[in-house]
Amino acid sequence: MEGGVFPIGSRVRVVTDSPLEGLKGTIIAINMIATPGKPTICFYKIDLDGMRLQEPLWFEYHEVELAGTSCEEPTDC
């Protein structure tokens, strides 16, 4: 994983090619999978704005980006 981990509470936008592309939401949980000798993989549980879902959805780290001001940066892993 390049970059870092977005903190809980971060505002993000879905960038994956799917019907959800472009939607914004808030990270409410993070699940990290660490395997010795391999890069750490992060999954974000996101509460999407305006979606009436029973559960927030999980997205892999490369499926979202920070939304908002350009000064927002992920923290280091």
Domains held by the chain: number: 1
pLDDT at 39: 86
Residue 43: which domain range? 11-66
In 3D space, the residue among 43, 46, 53, 3 whose CA is nearest the CA of residue 24 turns out to be 46
Is the pTM above the cut of 0.75? Answer: yes
* Domain membership flag for residue 76: no
Note whether residue 37 is domain-resident.
yes
Tell me the per-residue pLDDT of 2-58, one tens digit each, with 9 for 90 and over.
557 899 999 999 999 999 999 999 999 999 998 899 888 999 999 999 888 888 999
| CATH assignment at residue 57 | 2.30.30
Both structure tokens of 64: 């979202």
The residues, any chain, with a CB within 8 Å of residue 26's CB and separated by 6 or more, are 9, 10, 11, 12, 46, 47, 49
Nearest-Å Rg of the Cα atoms of the chain is 12
